[in-house]
Each structure stands twice: as C-alpha cells, then as structure tokens.
Amino acid sequence: DLVRELRGLADVEQRLARRLGLQRVIVVPGDADVDDTSKKEIARATARFLKEVLREGQVLAVTGGSTLAEVALSLPEESVPLGITVVPGRGGLGEDVELQANTIAAEIARRLRANYRLLHVPDDLPEEAVETVASQPQVREILDLIRRADIVLHGVGTAEEMARRRRLGPAETARLRERGAVGEAFGYYFNRQGQPVYQTASFGLRVEDLAHCGQVVVVGGGRSKAEAALAVISTGYQDVLITDEGLAWRVLELT
Ligand code: F6P
C-alpha cells in the first residue's frame, strides 16, 4: 500500500534479506520501542503470513512472549478447521502465564480450530528431574512433534531483558555478561556470533533441532532488539524475519 511505498519498505526488506541470508523479510512501519502499534502491526503481518503458509496436516511450534501473545490475538477465528497441530516450542521458561508458550499455543489453536498438545513442565525442576520427565512416553510424543515442526515461530529478546524477566540471580546474570550473551530465543542465550552460551533448564526445541524443522520464523521489533535479532539469526537456522523499521534500520547500520 501507499505507506509501504512511501517509506520504501520493500527495498529495506530486500536489503535485509540479502544481508542476513534470509528467504524472506517482512518490515512494518514504526518502532516497537517507542510505539505499541508497531508490535500490533508485526503481529498482524505474522498472522497473515501464517495463514498464507500453513497447510493441512502441518505442525506449528510457537514460543512465548508479548509479541507472540499479540500474534495469537491477531488471528481470525476460523469457521473451518485448518487440520494443523499447534505445540509450544519449550516447556515453562519462567514467564508469566499469559506470556507462556503453552497459553499462546492453546489460543492460536482455538482460533485456527487446530489440534494442540501442551508441555506442562514446572520452571524450577532440577536437571535430573527434567530428564526423567522428558523421557516419559507421553512427553516424548510431544517432543517428537516439536522437533519436526513444519513451521517454528519464535520471539527474540535481549539477553538483559530476558534475564530480568526470568528473575535470574546476580551470579547467573554475571555469567551471561561474561560470556557475551546479547540475544535470547526459546530459552537459549546467544553471543554476537550466534553461539549459544547459556540455556534455561527446560526442554523442548533445541538449537540443533531447527535444522530438521521446516521454516523457522523469527518475530520481533524495536531498535533495542537489533543486536539480539542479529545474534539469533547468526545461528544460520532462520528463514524468515518479521519485524519493524526500528529494528530493520539498526540491523542495516550494524551489518
Ligand atoms: O520467553 C519466551 C520468549 O519467546 C523469549 O524466547 C523471547 O526472548 C521473548 O519471549 C520475547 O518476548 P517479547 O515478545 O515480549 O519481547
């Protein structure tokens, strides 16, 4: 439309896709750091994208966060089931319930009239217990669905904000800083080069699983998230970025 044309968004999208080696980039007007309507625009663009790409029989894995919560709210309520299955990317990651992947997966499934399977894992399980839970047949079955998802839709955050939101202690926060963590996605903290340097004790999607998933889509905007998004995309697993001008211009400056 006219706004896109006036702002040269198609050109920004193409430059970003080339620079980051992505299949597709969608940029909406504005900057989510300074104005909430950009987050809503990102969510609307993501909802349209999902409707365009999802096919019957496919598995959609989603993570949590406020951007993904907004995506769920942007989806129209379907009258005919789409025949897909929605799963959360990871178990509990220490987020408030309305921002949890389970909650968002269930809401997306309700709107798309899809099937869903959830992962109920307490956030503070010791590692041995995580392993025991993950090896149960009912849980394994869901993990298998997650690890071969046709579409993975995940949020991205700065390491700093996510450490705060998950109430990491001072020692863990210091460790993150020491290891150069700048970005976070699905429970992993990444350094500038896209190497995972720390991870939240939980289970579900592992970084290496992304190689076996179909399309990996990262969603998030705001200039403040540019370095975080770059770190996550440097893993080389992402195919699509849906973002706003604030993040897009900053990434072009940084690369
Ligand atoms: O905790 C789930 C999660 O998707 C994180 O992996 C990500 O960093 C964050 O939420 C993004 O949250 P928001 O969209 O609120 O910035």
- Per-residue pLDDT of 87-104, as tens digits, reads 999 987 778 889 999 999
Q: What is the pLDDT of residues 192-210, one digit of tens each?
A: 999 999 998 778 999 999 9
Q: Which atom of ligand 1 is nearest to the CA of 66?
A: 15
C-alpha of residue 163 to centroid of ligand 1, in Å: 11
Greatest mean pLDDT range, 42-56, 78-92, 133-147: 42-56
C-alpha of residue 37 to centroid of ligand 1, in Å: 18
C-alpha of residue 89 to centroid of ligand 1, in Å: 12
CB 69 within 8 A of CB 99: yes
Query: For a substitution probing ligand 1, which of 162, 190, 223, 238 has the most ligand atoms within 8 Å of its CB?
Result: 162
Q: What is the ipTM of this complex?
A: 0.99
Ligand 1: does its nearest atom lie under 6 Å from the Cβ of 219?
A: no
Cα–Cα distances (Å) from 110 to 84, 107, 152, 153, 199, in that order, read 11, 5, 18, 17, 30
pLDDT of residue 93: 78
Q: Which atom of ligand 1 is nearest to the CA of 39?
A: 14
Question: What one-letter code names the amino acid at 130?
Answer: V
pLDDT of residue 111: 97
